[in-house]
Amino acid sequence: MAAKLVCRYFSHSYTPEDISRKQMESPKSSPIPDLVVNPRSAKSAPIHTQQSKTSKPRSIRPNDLNLIKTLYALVDSGSMNNALYLFEKMNHSDTYTWNVIIRGFSNHGLFQETIDFYYRMEREGIITDHFTFPFVIKACGRLLSLVDGQKVHAKLIKNGLDFDLFVCNSLIDMYFKHGYFKHGFTENAEKVFEEMPIRDLVSWNTMVGGYQIVGDGLKSLICFREMLHSGRQPDRPSMISALGGCSIEGCLHGGKEIHCQVIRSGLELDIMVQTSLIDMYAKCGRLDYAESVFNRISSKNLVAWNAIIGGYALNGHFYESFACMKRMQEENFIPDAITMINLLPSCSQLGALLEGKCIHGFGIRKMFLPHIVLETALVDMYGKCGELKSAKCVFGQINEKNLVSWNAMIAAYAQNGWSREALELFQRLQNEPLKPDTVTISSILPAYAELASLAECKQVHAYITKFELSSNTFTSNAMVYLYGKCGDLQSARKYFDDMLFRDVVSWNVMIMVYAIHGFGTTAIQLFSNMREKGIKPNGSTFVSLLSACSICGLVEEGWEFFNSLKRDYNIDHGIEHFGCMLDLLGRTGNLHVAKQFIEEMPLAPTARIWGSLLTASRNNNDIVLAELAAKHILSLDHDNTGCYVVLFNMYAEAGRWEDVEQIKFLMKIKGIVKTIGCCMVEVNGKLTSLSIKTSITTKETRFMMCWILS
């Protein structure tokens, strides 16, 4: 179903392998030697800064008011080349004329030129005033130029402008923009705000919005509350920023209060406020409220459509997100980069790799790339679909990688069992000017879990405690899983019980830990406790439950949980749920039911799905069904070594030597080599990898191998 909905629109898009990036060619400017004084025609007449050799420089009267008006008009129209030409011909010893040019550069996004022009102003001894600094500070914030920003801050203090209202507002905004990328600068913004003798609505809005930018939703809401107590009436930017804070914290009650204030303020029909309400309700888990707000929008724009599409994907309604995109396209809206970003999680969860590739190709064809957020979403999608080669390729093409990009690639390696690669990438990250955060730790911990080394687990625990990363719920959840994977069920449960706050992921992880250790009944009991606490389960909860049922052979309970997904919780079945259910049927010997289950799946079976049936056929010695599963696996993954090995062993056990020779011949001509089995043994706190080719030399290792074999 997802394929039909997505490919119908992206059918003309090629996959990323077939498309090369295009570069825009900048149009060549035609030389126009004379100055256009008429401001209406100024923008269409670009001017060279050098004059013709045959023409003499004009003499311009210094105090010509008409020239200043013309300069102002050129700047407003965006003709900065013309404005600069005129500026150089004027007597520009007054501050006002310089401020006009600086304002033009800043307003038209020429931030580096703004800073350069400011330094030129300083060199020529022109006095800077309270109109100069806000535009220069804005440029420093947009370019994340900390050194320039601090120099400007020092200069304005020297000039006695550190308490000017407009200057302070600009400083707060600049420090928050730096705080998004580096820790410590939010305190600078707070200090400027606290020392302000006078605050206007812009000051409060900058603080509320700044906290939202750095991801501190709680402080954003506290600041919004203080603004109300100070007697300030919130406007549209105030509402949008406060709703963003509610979205970050998942604060539904606070969001409803702000919604009431929106209605009282007469902003309920404002499209930007309505879009923020949709986003807030969706991120707080009330998709019904989000749909209600969306349906009341009379003139929907692309931003509103993107918000509801993202809301569907966020709440596990993946098919609805694709259907909503189709409705959007029918109303003549063209998807943009944000649409792609919101659709890719649905591809990830449904295992819809083809649709994800179509979206990637569409993004390249529409020249949405390079786009750091879209590229990071692509890395995440490819990683969750098992396409690590494509994920690595996209990651390598990101020009300026941020911490989110690194985290996505580390998680992709860890989730697919490439633990060594994940750990190597984590080591590379520590050499970058980026500080690992709680998401990084949460992403890398599954890699440590794959190693199943209790000594490594305790070392990571000490690292987290040292850098004060343990208070975060994401990290705590990962530590519970890590202890469970390392075999220390008691420590995992203790860590879980000691958590101050448990979200749905916390419960999912603990249920999965019990499943790993074969305590299926305990896992189901924990799910009952979770419901009693009022925690709403999600799709991952049922992956954990179905895994517990599969490991313990609880067929009836497994069917009940599988059927209750859509019936009781309105959650779409993902590829993981079908995989767990198929594994349960295979483990309990219900092979023909498993085969019928695959045939009736609404999603296209992946190689992993058929691999589960192949494993079940191997365990139950059903060669016919194994051959069927192998046929489908090899059609999806031509070089699947495991598939050939399973068939080889089954044919050998059945005495079908001609088929054995045929498998050997196919493996030889395809260059497929059987992977050498290995195991990890922990000796004196160190992990040792042992395989057939390993030479056992140390006394401790020989002793351990003797103990294992005994």
Query: pLDDT digits over 157-166, tens only?
Result: 888 888 888 8
Q: For residue 680, is pLDDT > 80?
A: no
User: Rounded to whole angstroms, how far apart are CA atoms 299 and 269?
Assistant: 10
What's the one-letter identity of residue 157? I
Higher pLDDT among residues 356 and 458, named by residue? 356
- Specify whether 175 is located in the same domain as 253: no
Q: What percent of the chain has pLDDT over 90?
A: 7
Lowest-pLDDT choice from 173-182, 238-247, 529-538 = 173-182
SS3 state of residue 690: strand
In the prediction, which pLDDT does 39 show? 34
E strand or H helix that includes residue 689:
strand 686-691
Compute the residue count for the chain: 710
Count how many domains the chain has.
4
Phi, psi of 49 (to 5 degrees): -75, -20
Structure tokens at 575: 């590829």
- Residue 581 located in a structural domain: yes
Confidence of residue 11 (pLDDT cuts 50, 70, 90): very low
Q: What's residue 64's pLDDT?
A: 61
Whether residues 261 and 170 fall in one domain: no
369-407: b (≥16 Cβ within 10 Å) or e = bebeebbbbbbbbbbbbbbbebbbebbeebeebebbbbb
Do 675 and 641 contact (CB within 8 A), yes or no? yes
Same domain, 521 and 628: yes
Tell me the CATH number at 130: 1.25.40.10
Same-domain pairing of 576 and 525: yes
Same domain, 165 and 265: no
Query: Do 591 and 681 have their domain in common?
Result: no
What is the average pLDDT score of the chain?
79
- What integer pLDDT is reported at residue 511 of this predicted model? 92
636 contacts: CB under 8 Å, gap ≥ 6 = 606, 607, 610
Pick from 295, 316, 335: which residue ends a domain?
295
Predicted confidence (pLDDT) at residue 227 exceeds the cutoff of 60: yes
**What is the secondary structure of 71-85 as a DSSP string?**
HHHHHHHT-HHHHHH
Mean pLDDT over residues 580-589, rounded?
86
Each residue's pLDDT tens digit, 124-170? 888 888 888 888 888 888 887 878 888 888 888 888 888 888 888 88
Place of tokens 């790993």: 516
- Please state the rounded mean pLDDT for residues 462-486: 78
| Cis peptide, bond prior to residue 46, ω within 30 of zero | no
pLDDT on residue 470 = 65
Q: How confident is the model over 198-218, as a mean pLDDT?
A: 88
For residues 661 and 696, membership in a common domain is answered with no
Q: What is the residue type of 615?
A: T
Whole-angstrom Cα distance, residue 702 to residue 684? 13
Q: Same structural domain for residues 605 and 513?
A: yes
Residue 684 is predicted with a pLDDT of 53
C-alpha to C-alpha distance for 224 and 218, rounded to whole angstroms: 10
Confidence bin at 180 (pLDDT 50/70/90): low
Is position 687 within any domain? yes
187 versus 260: the higher-pLDDT residue is 260
Is pLDDT of 5 > 50? no
Output the pLDDT for position 447.
Answer: 79
669 domain residue, yes or no: yes
Q: Which pLDDT value is given to residue 527? A: 92
Residue 409, pLDDT score: 92
Q: Do residue 648 and residue 683 come from a single domain? A: no
Backbone Cα Rg of the chain? 31
Residue pair 607/619 in contact by the 8 Å Cβ criterion: no
pLDDT tens-digit profile of 181-192?
A: 555 577 888 888
Domain of 281, in residue numbers = 222-295
Last residue of a domain, one of 295, 315, 345: 295
The two tokens of residue 710 are 């005994």
- The pLDDT of residue 259: 92
Q: What pLDDT score does 277 carry?
A: 92
Torsion 311-312-318-321 (CA) sign? negative
* Spatial contact of 511 and 547, defined as CB atoms under 8 Å apart: no
* Rounded Cα gap, residues 160 and 415, in angstroms: 56
pTM for the full predicted model: 0.60
3-state secondary structure of 55: coil
Last residue of a domain, one of 240, 266, 295: 295
Domain-embedded: residue 19: no
In a domain, 149, yes or no: yes
Examine the pLDDT at 207 and tell me if it is beyond 70.
yes
| Burial group, residue 127, by CB count within 10 angstroms (0-12, 13-18, 19+) | exposed
Contacts of residue 216, Cβ cutoff 8 Å, sequence gap at least 6: 186, 248
Q: Are 108 and 78 in contact (CB under 8 A)?
A: yes
Q: SS3 for 681?
A: strand
| Nearest CA-CA partner of 132 in 167, 107, 93, 158 | 167
Which value, to the nearest 10 degrees, does the dihedral of the CA atoms of residues 384, 469, 451, 485 take?
Answer: -80
> Is residue 642 one of the residues assigned to a domain?
yes
CA-nearest of 6, 16, 7 to 378 is 16
For the segment 20-32, what is each residue's pLDDT rounded down to a tens digit? 333 333 333 333 2
Instruction: Give the span between the Cα atoms of 381 and 395, in whole angstroms.
Output: 12
Reported as type and span, the H/E element at residue 677 is none
The reply to whether 420 falls in a domain is: no
In order of 369, 374, 435, 457, the CA distances from 467 in angstroms are 36, 30, 11, 16
Same domain as 247, residue 103: no
Digit-coded pLDDT (tens) for 43-87? 333 333 333 333 333 434 445 677 778 888 888 888 888 888 888
What does the pLDDT read at residue 28? 34
Note the helical H segments in 398-538: 403-415, 419-429, 438-451, 454-466, 473-485, 489-498, 504-516, 520-532
Q: How far apart are CA 501 and CA 56, in angstroms?
A: 77
Q: Which residues contact 400 (CB under 8 A, 6 or more apart)?
A: 372
Q: Is 120 a domain residue?
A: yes
d(CA 549, CA 551): 6
Whether residues 531 and 654 fall in one domain: yes
Percent of the chain at pLDDT exceeding 70: 83
Residue 451 token pair: 């190693």
Which SS3 state, helix, strand or coil, does residue 682 take? strand
Same structural domain for residues 522 and 608? yes
By CB neighbour count within 10 A (0-12 exposed, 13-18 middle, 19+ buried), where does 236 fall? middle
Reported confidence tier of residue 41, pLDDT bands at 50, 70, 90:
very low
Mean pLDDT of the region 654-665: 82
- Higher per-residue confidence, 28 vs 361: 361
Is the predicted pLDDT of residue 427 greater than 60, yes or no? yes
